[in-house]
Amino acid sequence: MLKKRIITLGLLLALAAFAGSMVGCKAAKQAREKGTEAAKNIKEKVGGEAKGEAIKIGAIFSVTGKASFLGEPEKKTVEMLEEQINAAGGINGSPIDVIVYDDEGDEAKTQELAKKLIFEDEVVAIIGPSRSGNTMAIKDFMGQNKTVLISAAAAEAIVEPLNPWVFKTPQKDSYVARHLLQQMQDAGITKIAVLYGNEAFGQEGLKQIKAYAADHGVQIAAELAYEPAATEGDLETLLTKVKADASLQAAINWTILPAQSIVPKKMKELGIKIPLYQSHGFGNIKYVEAAGDAANGIIFAGGRLLVAHNLPDGDPQKKVLVDYKEAYESRFAEEVSTFGGHAYDALWIVVNAIKEAGTDKAAIRDAIENSTFIGTGGVFKFTPTDHNGLGMDSLSLLTVKNGSFALLEQ
């Protein structure tokens, strides 16, 4: 009896508390709004007098964790740019303050950090995250809170369907897939195997290859996934399957895992002679070094940053690419990668928009939608319906020659 009474009492109390708080909420909310308004007024007054208050820009990268090879160069790039921009007088006299957080590749952390940046640090815009999954985790949230996000992740889904507040700088996955498939069509290849890392990057790649293969008359005879923790033996098993099917004419290996170096090595060991195509994830010279001899001849599509010095002088991107590459490499004593370039583009696009439109969030968004920018990823031409702004020509077919990247000669 007592138990029942307590339960009923508890439920009633909870309901009462809930109803009461709902009423109280409105009052509290109004109080809150008044408070923030007052704060805003004060800020505006102070801001008017003390010119040169720092403009805060947020950044979320996967600096540590599974995707640290993306986030680390991104964070370094942003820190370097921040210094450069401030040394050159900031934006119209105000310095910028880029607050970089690490999401460790964990989506729940990305969500927390986006909240922290918007509500605690009160930034005017956010760049990043590094990974597609993490970007998707806050896509809706950015729209709800009306703050610009410029992602440094590749997946198509970030800008399609379009969220008015979300942009991205890397070339779309589908461009890479179409470049590779076009090259296969030209080479007369009709039957291929697709190997992919069973994580976001590989899975998105598989999706795009499947979507465009038929257009180029290419048939996918086998889809072979491997786990991030795949051993040499596991990859050997998959490649044995490739070897067993003599009708295969080429293989695509789409991943950002170390498997990009192991697969070519294993193919050589097993004596598999068909050409190997890889994704833009291969755009880091460390993978070429790890694969040794076996890397030569791999075909992949990537940004022109990797071959900056070999570009013709007339190329519109050449100056940007060479400048960024030299600044980064001399400062951090390590080779530049395309990933840092995505962050470079994202930060500059935000900074340019603030220069033009001030620090109002909606104004920044509108300014970006009507901007063009020559960056490391290509020549961006944003419109209200195109939040990537890059075309197929932003990528080139590349290959490895004598252990270094080179443009593929058609």
Partner 1 sequence: MDRFDWKPFAVLSVLLGYLFVFGKLYTLMLLTRAGMYCIVTIGMCLLVGYAGQVSIGHAAFYAIGGYTSAILTIRYGVPLWGGLVCAVALSCAVAFLIGIPTLRLRGHYLAMATLGFGVIVYSLIHSSIEFTGGSSGISGAPPLTLFGTNLAEDGGIFYFLFVWINVAVFMLLAGNIIRSRPGRALMSIHGNEEAANAAGVNTSAFKLKVFVLSAGMAAYAGFLYVHYDGFIGANSAELMLSVIFVAMVAVGGMANLWGTLCATVLLSLLPEFLRRTQKVKAADLPDFIHNSLGLSDTQIFKLIQKFQELDVLIYGLIIIVFMIFMPQGIFTGTADMFRTLARRVRAVRGKRRVSDAS
Partner 2 sequence: MSLLSQIIQFTFSGLANGGTYILVALGLNIIYNATGIINFAQGEFAVFGSFIMITLCMAWGIPAPVAFPITVLALAGIGALFHRTAIAPLKKPSVITMVIITIGGSIFMRGVAMLIWGKYPQRLDPFIDAPPIRFMDAIIKWDTLLVLVIVALVVAALYWFFEKTVTGKAMRACAENREAALLMGINVDRIVLLSFALSAALGAVAGVVYTPGASMEYGRGPYFGLRGFEVAIIGGLGNSVGAVLAGILIGLFETFSAGFLSPTYKEAITLALLLLVLFVKPSGILGKAEVARLKDF
229 touching partner 2, by CB under 8 A: yes
Burial class of residue 182 in the structure, from the number of CB atoms within 10 Å of its CB (0-12 exposed, 13-18 middle, 19+ buried): middle
CA 265, distance to chain mean position in Å, is: 28
226 touching partner 2, by CB under 8 A: yes
Are residues 394 and 168 in contact, defined by beta-carbon separation less than 8 angstroms? no
**Stretch touching partner 1 by CB under 8 A, among 181-189, 195-203, 250-258, 317-325:** 195-203
Stated as kind and residue range, the H or E segment containing 373 is strand 372-374
Q: Residues binding partner 1: what is the number (CB under 8 A)?
A: 62
238 touching partner 2, by CB under 8 A: yes
**Stretch touching partner 2 by CB under 8 A, among 122-130, 154-162, 186-194, 267-275:** 267-275
Q: Is 392 helix (H, G, I), strand (E, B) or coil?
A: helix
Token pair of 370, please?
């009507």
DSSP one-letter string for 119-154: IIS--SEEE--SSHHHHHHHHHHHHHTT-EEEE---
72/61 Cα distance (integer angstroms): 8
Token pair of 52, please?
């040169």
Q: Which residues of 8-43 are buried (b: 16+ CB within 10 A; e: fewer)?
A: eeeeeeeeeeeeeeeeeeeeeeeeeeeeeeeeeeee
CA 28, distance to chain mean position in Å, is: 39
207 touching partner 2, by CB under 8 A: no
Taking CB under 8 A as the rule, which mask of x and - marks residues 282-321 in contact with partner 2?
Answer: --------x-------------------------------
191 touching partner 2, by CB under 8 A: no
CA 136, distance to chain mean position in Å, is: 11
Are residues 166 and 142 in contact, defined by beta-carbon separation less than 8 angstroms? yes
Query: Residue 106 binds what, of partner 1, partner 2, none (CB under 5 to 8 Å, by partner type)?
Result: partner 1
According to CB under 8 A, which one of 36, 237, 370, 383 is a site residue for partner 2? 237
231 touching partner 2, by CB under 8 A: yes
339 touching partner 2, by CB under 8 A: no
Question: Which phi and psi angles does 187 have, rounded to 5°?
Answer: -85, 0
333 touching partner 1, by CB under 8 A: yes
8-state DSSP, 281: G
CA distances from 294 to 52, 259, 266, 286, 300 (A): 54, 13, 9, 14, 14
CB-nearer residue toward partner 2: 290 or 407: 290
The distance of closest approach from Cβ of residue 208 to partner 1 in the complex, given in angstroms and rounded to an integer, is 12
327 touching partner 1, by CB under 8 A: no
Token pair of 190, please?
């009709």
Query: Residue 10 binds what, of partner 2, partner 1, none (CB under 5 to 8 Å, by partner type)?
Result: partner 1
**Stretch touching partner 2 by CB under 8 A, among 24-32, 156-164, 227-235, 340-348:** 227-235
112 touching partner 1, by CB under 8 A: yes
CB-nearer residue toward partner 2: 66 or 191: 66
**Stretch touching partner 2 by CB under 8 A, among 52-60, 82-90, 263-271, 369-377:** 263-271
| Residues engaged in binding partner 1 (CB under 8 A) | 3, 6-7, 10-11, 14, 17-18, 21-22, 24-25, 28-29, 31-32, 63-64, 75-76, 79, 83, 99-102, 106-109, 111-113, 115-116, 119-120, 132-133, 136-141, 144-145, 155, 157, 198-201, 203-204, 206-207, 225, 331-334
For partner 2, the binding residues (CB under 8 A) are 64-66, 68-69, 198, 223-227, 229, 231-234, 236-238, 240-241, 243-244, 246, 258, 262, 269-271, 290
